Amino acid sequence: MTRAPRLERRGPTAFLFGAPAIIGLLLFLAVPFLMAFTLTFTDQRLVAPQSGHFIGWRNYERLLSVSYLVQSPRDKASGNVAAGWKPEYERVRSITRSNPEYRGYRPFTQFRIGQRRITILAQDPEFLQSLINTFAFALMVVPLQCSMALLLALLVNAGLRGQTIFRAIYFSPVVMSMVVVSIVWTFLFDRDLGSINRFISLVSFGTAPRIDWLGNPASAMPAIAIMSAWQGAGFQMLIFLAGLQGISQELYDAALIDGATSWQRFWNITIPGLRQTIIFVLVVTTIAALGLFTQIDVMTQGGPQNATSTVMFHAIQRGVREEDIAYGSTVAVVYFALITVLILAQQAIQKRSSK
């Protein structure tokens, strides 16, 4: 690492030149964040006759409280454990809605250990589900989008004919509005009339079952990941392209003389040469993935059954559409803290491994 130029030596001129950016950051990033942070301790609403009151940690409690409930089967006492007997349990909500100890809790997930049924409860199960969904989306989309971008970059950098046109074509989805792309892909993903299912049924001679892409909890998020990767890959392709052109041709020439195969050239020259680019692209794509909102809002509204709800979607739902801006801010602040911790941990690990 080269040492960063020291600010104080350049004096006030440096600050003057930096002022527009610094003021912009403070005004549009730092100040709103501090305001949001203050809001999290109030019950401020978007439309209200008076400003909010201080309510302490209530928003955080509602967001993060988790509890559990252990239930035994209902008629175990009768000893009727015959073959085919299925254990029955009291409905969780009749307990949470009547027992003051569990007031405000709703089931998040359920599993069984032996005859006992254990329910994990949360005051805001949608938030936990959204958190899991968002990271699952990032895990799906980041490798997909980055490898697609690298592949496209290699393709349009290979010196084939008409590659400028292809560069433009591959980049074009990035310029399109995400809302438009989402609407078009909703048509493509349609179970009965969508092109994707029609294509699948064509190549499988009608044997493949029709996939309800956006209607099935298992396939909805992957479908959105595929679409998002398609839409965004052009941008990363451009960065990879710049990276590729920064690798010295001499290295490839020397490798050719040494008789390296094209795979060896890719693995031993291209990839190491792109190391910094790859890290940059991964970071940028991950940040974009964690902010997933538009596609969800247009295509699934978080459904089916919360399978595609994301943290940003949840924050907008609660903060803007239900006008509980204090709670929406709490979602955003907690999410911010969580991502900050993750980044710090990742950097610490990176530092240790590079030593």
Partner 1 sequence: MAARRSSVIGLVSLSLLLCACGKDHRSNRIELTLWKHQAGDVEEAAGKLAVARFNASQSKWRITEQTLPQGGYTQSIVAASLAGRLPCLMTVDQPMVASFVWAGHLRPIDGLVSQAELTQVEAAAVGRYSGHLYSVGQFDAALAIFTRRSALKRIGARIPTLDHPWSLEEFDDILAKLKATGQYKYPLDLATRDPKADWWTYAFSPILQSFGGDLIDRSSMRSAEGVLNGPAALRFGQWFQSLFTRGFVDRREPDDRAFIAGRAAMVYTGSWWAPDYRTAAGDDLLILPPPDFGQGPVIGGGSWQWGISRTCSHADGAAAFISFLLKPSEVAKMADAAGMVPVTEAGAALSSDFRTGGKSRIFFELMRRFARQRPATPAFSVISNNFFFALQNIADGKNPQDALDDATDAIDQAIDDNGGYLTTTSAGR
- The C-alpha atoms of residue 213 and residue 222 are separated, in whole angstroms, by 9
* Candidate ranges 111-119, 160-168, 319-327, 329-337; the one touching partner 1 (CB under 8 A): 319-327
Cβ atoms 234, 170 nearer than 8 A:
yes
- The C-alpha atoms of residue 322 and residue 312 are separated, in whole angstroms, by 14
Cβ atoms 171, 234 nearer than 8 A:
yes
The single residue among 135, 323, 338, 339 that binds partner 1, judged by CB under 8 A, is: 323
* Candidate ranges 64-72, 230-238, 297-305, 343-351; the one touching partner 1 (CB under 8 A): 297-305
Q: Which is nearer to partner 1, 34 or 46 (CB)?
A: 46
Establish if 222 lies at the interface with partner 1 (CB under 8 A): no
Establish if 283 lies at the interface with partner 1 (CB under 8 A): no
Establish if 24 lies at the interface with partner 1 (CB under 8 A): no
Three-class SS state of 17 = helix
Place of tokens 């392209």: 241
Establish if 40 lies at the interface with partner 1 (CB under 8 A): no
Least Cβ distance, residue 212 to partner 1 (angstroms) = 8
Establish if 64 lies at the interface with partner 1 (CB under 8 A): no
* Candidate ranges 91-99, 170-178, 246-254, 256-264; the one touching partner 1 (CB under 8 A): 91-99
Least Cβ distance, residue 92 to partner 1 (angstroms) = 8
Phi/psi zone of residue 305: left (φ > 0), alpha (ψ -120 to 50 degrees), beta?
left
Cβ atoms 153, 240 nearer than 8 A:
yes
Based on DSSP, count helices (H) and strands (E) in the chain, helices before strands.
17, 3
- The C-alpha atoms of residue 89 and residue 74 are separated, in whole angstroms, by 5
Q: Which is nearer to partner 1, 173 or 323 (CB)?
A: 323
Phi/psi zone of residue 102: left (φ > 0), alpha (ψ -120 to 50 degrees), beta?
alpha
Establish if 273 lies at the interface with partner 1 (CB under 8 A): no
User: Using CB under 8 A as the criterion, what x/- string covers residues 102-141 for binding partner 1?
Assistant: --x-x-----------------------------------
List residues bridging with 112 in a β-sheet: 117
Residue 230's contacts (CB-CB under 8 Å, 6 or more residues apart) are 148, 173
The single residue among 36, 190, 289, 292 that binds partner 1, judged by CB under 8 A, is: 190
Question: Which residue ranges make up the site for partner 1 (CB under 8 A)?
Answer: 43, 45-50, 91, 93, 97, 104, 106, 186-187, 190-194, 212, 214-215, 217, 297-298, 301-306, 317, 320-324
